[in-house]
Amino acid sequence: MTLTLQQISDLAARLDAALLEGREITRLTEEFPGLSIDDAYKIQAAGIERRAARGERISGYKMGLTSKAKRDQMGLHSAIYGVLTEPMAIAQGLALKGMIHPKAEPEIGFRIARALRGDVTRAEALAACDAVCGALEVLDSRFVGFKYFSLPDVVADNASSSRYLFGPWAPLDGLDLANLEMVMAVDGVPVESASSSAISGDPVLSIVELCRLLSLHGRELPAGSLVLAGAATTAVALKAGMRVSLKVSGLAEAAFVVDPS
């Protein structure tokens, strides 16, 4: 199924209004059961254009559904990307106001020093990065129930991305990136743990896959981009007052507090 430009723009506006009003909507595939992944990425891009028009600058990209744990949790089975913008960064505490059903998940973050495009090798992706960190992503789907939706729905909804926190950046030297221990804790109590190999087998391969997917849509990964490689484990639901932290072996802790009200 191919949507008209008007339909793409209308669906982007519908999702954008839900985002701005912190309101759930029914998934798009209820109305458009044949929604294609290609059209879903067009809706995502139109949504990001709306946000850019409000002054949001793009800071990077996120990969999603790069681990078995996440694919099984969501019942969806291929990797997708979404766009990160500067106001999505968690600065002080995370305010729950305007959020629908937020969840946090443990990720690895990369900073891209040199632009990458098309089919790149693992070595090329690695050479383009100048820093790595433990990172937390906060997801908040705009769809009712935050489950059992389809891949095109999630793609259109910017891969459920809501906020992100990149921990202190470190050089990549000496790190065995596919073999880092990751422990996410709530109020100091470990709740999820995994090896970084859970992410695409090797989180650097998430960058390779991101470049491939971006090139399908005529895009490159610009220098200066921040990249979330995808969660290593399932996501945990957030509640007021929680302190969520991620410790990755060899890297400094990333943590945020959910505002008490």
How far is 18 from 71, CA to CA, in rounded Å? 25
The region of 30-38, 125-133, 152-160, 212-220 touching ligand OOG under the rule CB under 6 A is: 152-160
Residues 6+ apart with CB under 8 A from 69: 194, 198, 231, 232, 233, 234
Contact 192, 106 (CB under 8 A): yes
Residue 39 lies near Mg ion (rule: CB under 5 A): no
Distance, CA of 216 to CA of 210 (rounded, Å) = 10
Q: Does 159 bind ligand OOG (CB under 6 A)?
A: yes
105 binds ligand OOG (CB under 6 A): yes
Q: If binding is defined by CB under 5 A, does position 231 make contact with Mg ion?
A: yes
- Give the one entry of Mg ion, ligand OOG, none that residue 233 binds, where binding means its C-beta sits below a cut-off of 5 to 8 angstroms depending on kind: none
The CA-atom distances, in angstroms, between 228 and each of 22, 136, 165, 178, 206 are 24, 9, 10, 15, 9
Q: Which residues contact 147 (CB under 8 A, 6 or more apart)?
A: 74, 75
Residue 141 contact, options Mg ion, ligand OOG, none, Cβ 5-8 Å cut-off depending on partner type: ligand OOG
Residue 17: which residues within 8 A CB-CB, separation 6 or more? 23
Site string for Mg ion, 135-164 (x = CB under 5 A): --x---------------------------
- Structure-derived torsion over alpha carbons of residues 235, 239, 240, 243, reported in degrees to the nearest 10: -40
74 binds, among Mg ion, ligand OOG, none (CB under 5 to 8 A by kind): ligand OOG
- Which parts of 25-84 interact with ligand OOG (CB under 6 A)? 62, 64-66, 70, 74
Q: Compute the distance between CA of residue 218 and CA of residue 160 in angstroms, rounded to an integer.
A: 22
Which of residues 22 and 241 has its CB atom nearest to ligand OOG in the complex? 22
Binder among 139, 182, 248, 258 for ligand OOG (CB under 6 A): 139
Q: Is residue 163 involved in binding ligand OOG (CB under 6 A)? A: no
Residue 39 binding target from Mg ion, ligand OOG, none, CB below 5 to 8 Å by type: none
Provide φ and ψ at 251, rounded to 5°.
-125, 155
Enumerate binding residues for Mg ion (CB under 5 A).
137, 231
Enumerate binding residues for ligand OOG (CB under 6 A).
62, 64-66, 70, 74, 105, 137, 139, 141, 154, 159-160, 230-231
